[in-house]
Amino acid sequence: MSLSPAEIWDRLRQRARQVLPEQTYRTWLEPTDAIVVEGDTLMVGAPDQFSADWNESKHADLLATFAPVALGHPMKVRFKVNEERAGRVQMDMFVAPPPAPIVAPPTKQQSRISTPLNPLYTFDQFVIGKSNDVAAAAAQAAAQAPGKVYNPLFIYGETGLGKTHLMQGIAHEQLRRNPALRIAYVGTEQFTNEFISAIQTGQMGDFRRRFREIDLLLVDDVQFLKGKESTQEEFFHTFNAIYEAGRQIVLTSDRPPKEIPGLESRLISRFEWGMVANVDSPDLEHRIAILKKKASVDHLELTIPDEVIEFIAQHVKSSVRELEGSIIKLLAYASFKHREISVDLAREALRDKLRGANTSDFPDVPPTTITVATIQQVVAREWGVTPDGLRSKTRTKQLTTPRQVAMYLCRELLALQLVEIGNAFGGRDHSTVIHSLERVAEDMAGEAGFTERVLKVRGMLETLRTTGQLGT
């Protein structure tokens, strides 16, 4: 009887569920589906690239170790993005796509433009608070009455506070109303580079058409215009052409127009013609609201408890981007450590980010790098054998069990490749290592006493890594 891909995946995944923490299972493996079996490989679809990569690096080999017992034969597992479900937002909320290139104006054949905007930078994903309410209101007004009320809209503020998000929110809203809209979204450096290359290749005509025959111009980081005289000259004419045609211009910068050094006064005055709006750092309540919004969009409300959200919001104050980065780091850390997300875990995971926070929440203890030798020593001590014994060829039960446990912990804590583990344990081959990992996973699923012992050693090593002290 041959199993369908879905049945195979179910068997492997259920075994993984027995050994992985529930939260890890739910975050990474539950939102996946079997796609197809190709030869000896099961292809599994993840909802986005981040989770595909994460599962591939963290869980694919482990899942394969279950195959001989669960299926009766070996089976490799590979992850890729499930195109059918790619629309679903999972980790993408926290991972910005690569910078978008300029949107080309439509050709005769192309009446609809596919924009390279970040799909997550919409108004409904933007959390409004005291620090950004004026800018958000201006952006919404510019989206509703483009070229009329606030033209240009100039949004300034420090890095990671939502300027690009608001700017793209305008584009999304306008595209929603008119999908045929011609939009150019570009960073100032990219504008400069394209300008230089147009001069070099003698294609200024094309360049001008691309930037002037559009309905909405979005330019990020105009502070980089400073000191670039001919780019400023070209930008001035681009601005005028679009402005005079009654079309909307949106600009962002890290400071207000007047404070951009080396910016021509005619540009300064044009940038101030419409609305200059600031985005500032969010206060505590606003930070909590932003984190909750991101967690809910990403279906992580159950995974990240409220007190953890509050803990992060209290300690990460520099920018919204940093808040998002903290969540990514925490999720990754929890998955790697196979632990539930808690305030204690957040304190450990974010220690580096928060080291400068000068708070008693983060006692300054030196972390230690754990190596294979450390794992061998600690395991050997627990089982009353020697590290040399673990590396030897001897296959008595007294040595085999701790050796398998040490291999398992090398995989779990150091994420070593199978071949690296084999080399570190007396040159054992790949299949012996797989068998060892599988054996430990199985015994952990079935024997409470054994599991407790493995987890105790693991806890000691984790304490050593984060505090520099060997926990007991």
Ligand X SMILES: Nc1ncnc2c1ncn2[C@@H]1O[C@H](COP(=O)(O)OP(=O)(O)OP(=O)(O)O)[C@@H](O)[C@H]1O
Binding region for ligand X (CB under 6 A): 96, 121, 125-127, 132, 157, 159-165, 252, 254, 290, 320-321, 324
Which residues, 6 or more positions from 240, have their beta carbon under 8 angstroms from its beta carbon? 270
The nearer residue to ligand X, 274 or 282, going by C-beta atoms, is 282
Rounded to a whole number of angstroms, the minimum distance from the CB of residue 316 to ligand X is 12
The nearer residue to ligand X, 292 or 315, going by C-beta atoms, is 292
Rounded to a whole number of angstroms, the minimum distance from the CB of residue 83 to ligand X is 24
Inter-axis angle of helices 5-19 and 60-71, nearest 10: 110
Instruction: Please tell me what DSSP assigns to residue 33.
Output: E
The nearer residue to ligand X, 187 or 387, going by C-beta atoms, is 187
Tell whether residue 162 is among the known ligand binding residues: yes
The nearer residue to ligand X, 71 or 134, going by C-beta atoms, is 134
Rounded to a whole number of angstroms, the minimum distance from the CB of residue 165 to ligand X is 4
**Residue nearest to ligand X as judged by C-beta position:** 162
The nearer residue to ligand X, 79 or 271, going by C-beta atoms, is 271
Q: Are 303 and 311 in contact (CB under 8 A)?
A: no
Which of 256, 260, 261 lies closest to 275, judged by CA? 256
The nearer residue to ligand X, 146 or 157, going by C-beta atoms, is 157
| 325-342 as b/e: b if 16+ CB within 10 A | bbbebbbebbbebbbebe
> Chain centroid to CA 67: how far?
30
Rounded to a whole number of angstroms, the minimum distance from the CB of residue 167 to ligand X is 8
Structure tokens at 402: 């701790």
SS3 state at 258:
helix
Tell whether residue 163 is among the known ligand binding residues: yes
Rounded to a whole number of angstroms, the minimum distance from the CB of residue 255 to ligand X is 11
Which residues, 6 or more positions from 246, have their beta carbon under 8 angstroms from its beta carbon? 147, 148
* Strand bridging mode 248-253 / 153-156: parallel
The nearer residue to ligand X, 278 or 467, going by C-beta atoms, is 278
The nearer residue to ligand X, 318 or 392, going by C-beta atoms, is 318
* Strand bridging mode 248-253 / 216-220: parallel
Structure tokens at 442: 């199985």
Q: Are 326 and 316 in contact (CB under 8 A)?
A: yes
Rounded to a whole number of angstroms, the minimum distance from the CB of residue 192 to ligand X is 16
Distance between CA atoms of 142 and 424, rounded to whole angstroms? 62
Rounded to a whole number of angstroms, the minimum distance from the CB of residue 465 to ligand X is 30
SS3 state at 359:
coil
φ, ψ of residue 361 in degrees (nearest 5): -65, -20
The nearer residue to ligand X, 34 or 320, going by C-beta atoms, is 320
Query: Which run of H or of E encompasses 373?
Result: helix 372-383
Which residues, 6 or more positions from 359, have their beta carbon under 8 angstroms from its beta carbon? 315
Rounded to a whole number of angstroms, the minimum distance from the CB of residue 187 to ligand X is 9
Tell whether residue 228 is among the known ligand binding residues: no
- For the chain, what's the residue count? 472
Distance between CA atoms of 101 and 372, rounded to whole angstroms? 45
Rounded to a whole number of angstroms, the minimum distance from the CB of residue 454 to ligand X is 39
Distance between CA atoms of 119 and 291, rounded to whole angstroms? 18
* Strand bridging mode 33-38 / 41-46: antiparallel
The nearer residue to ligand X, 164 or 248, going by C-beta atoms, is 164
Rounded to a whole number of angstroms, the minimum distance from the CB of residue 408 to ligand X is 37
Inter-axis angle of helices 188-201 and 229-244, nearest 10: 100
Tell whether residue 160 is among the known ligand binding residues: yes
**Annotated binding-site residue numbers:** 160, 162-164
**Annotated binding-site residue numbers for ATP:** 160, 162-164
